[in-house]
């Protein structure tokens, strides 16, 4: 019993750390690409840990600049998410711990893309600025919301089996009796804990940014009902050495500290 509880705790810590690490890395790319895009229109930007400000007046904006700037970041997030997906799928049959980083990277990348497209429409941030210039009506916004949620749930359903197979990091078999515990410690609890940590870490946040942090949960909803339908998975007989990876934990904490200190003052681009 002690060994099972110890393994569950290690699973929880690893997954939570990788959730936060992958989020920060994709967020950094998201912010930097968006800020750098503004240089094509001579629009200086100040990157902060909780927001991105363009240091210009309202009159400086044009439709072309808004389209490029506020779509560049979300497209970058989508591309990074798809790259992470390919790596995760390719590595799914191996027991390497790093593939959990790529799983969460895929979730965050797609969430920043879909979330900006959907949530931005209602809060006039992110892609919402583009919609405002296009005079998108409420009917289309509701269609985007419904379509976005269906896509996220569909992707989550498609990913249930690869998520189940990721148990090969810690176990030799994926038994039905272990799945309920595994899905909680590998996916559900890390999402809840990490979301709370990131909201507190990036306070004060706008409602838009807060919702973006919450919406990855839609990818995980299919886990609540789909795990039981799969038979036992036999991975290999190699003995698992389930130890806490201190290096990854320290690296993530250092990155969080550096990101918060540097961007607490703000990084000006342009």
For 83, counting Cβ atoms within 10 Å of its Cβ (0-12 exposed, 13-18 middle, 19+ buried), the class is middle
Give per-residue pLDDT as tens, 139-177: 877 888 888 888 888 888 888 888 877 777 776 555 555
Whole-angstrom Cα distance, residue 243 to residue 111?
30
Distances (CA, A) of 189 to 13, 17, 129, 197: 10, 12, 34, 12
Position 120 scores a pLDDT of 81
Whole-model pTM over 0.85: yes
State the Cα–Cα distance between residues 66 and 132, nearest whole angstrom.
10
Q: What percent of the chain has pLDDT over 70?
A: 89
Whether 180 has a pLDDT exceeding 50, the answer reads yes
- Gap between the Cα atoms of 112 and 71, Å rounded: 11
Over the stretch 218-229, which tens digit does the pLDDT of each residue have? Answer: 999 888 775 555
3-state SS assignment for residue 110: helix
Here the tokens at position 144 are 């985007």
Could you tell me which residues are beta bridge partners of residue 5?
none
């Amino acid at each position: 019993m002690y060994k099972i509880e110890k393994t569950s705790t290690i699973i929880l810590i690893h997954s939570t750390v990788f959730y936060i690490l992958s989020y920060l890395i994709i967020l950094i790319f998201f912010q930097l690409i968006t800020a750098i895009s503004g240089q094509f229109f001579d629009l200086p930007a100040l990157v902060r840990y909780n927001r991105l400000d363009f240091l210009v007046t309202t009159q400086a904006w044009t439709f072309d600049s808004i389209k490029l700037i506020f779509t560049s970041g979300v497209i970058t997030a989508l591309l990074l998410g798809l790259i992470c997906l390919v790596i995760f799928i390719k590595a799914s049959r191996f027991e390497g711990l790093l593939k959990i980083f790529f799983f969460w990277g895929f979730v965050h990348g797609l969430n920043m893309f879909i979330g900006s497209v959907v949530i931005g429409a209602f809060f006039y941030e992110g892609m919402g600025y583009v919609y405002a210039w296009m005079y998108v009506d409420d009917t289309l916004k509701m269609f985007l919301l419904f379509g976005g949620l269906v896509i996220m749930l569909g992707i989550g359903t498609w990913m249930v089996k690869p998520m189940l197979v990721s148990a090969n990091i810690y176990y030799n078999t994926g038994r039905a009796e272990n799945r309920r515990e595994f899905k909680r410690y590998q996916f559900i609890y890390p999402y809840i804990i990490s979301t709370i940590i990131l909201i507190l870490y990036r306070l004060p946040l706008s409602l838009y940014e807060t919702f973006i942090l919450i919406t990855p949960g839609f990818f995980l909803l299919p886990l609540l009902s789909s795990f039981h339908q799969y038979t036992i998975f036999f991975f290999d007989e190699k003995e698992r050495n389930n130890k806490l990876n201190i290096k990854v934990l320290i690296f993530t904490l250092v990155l969080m500290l550096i990101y918060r200190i540097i961007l607490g003052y703000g990084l000006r681009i342009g």
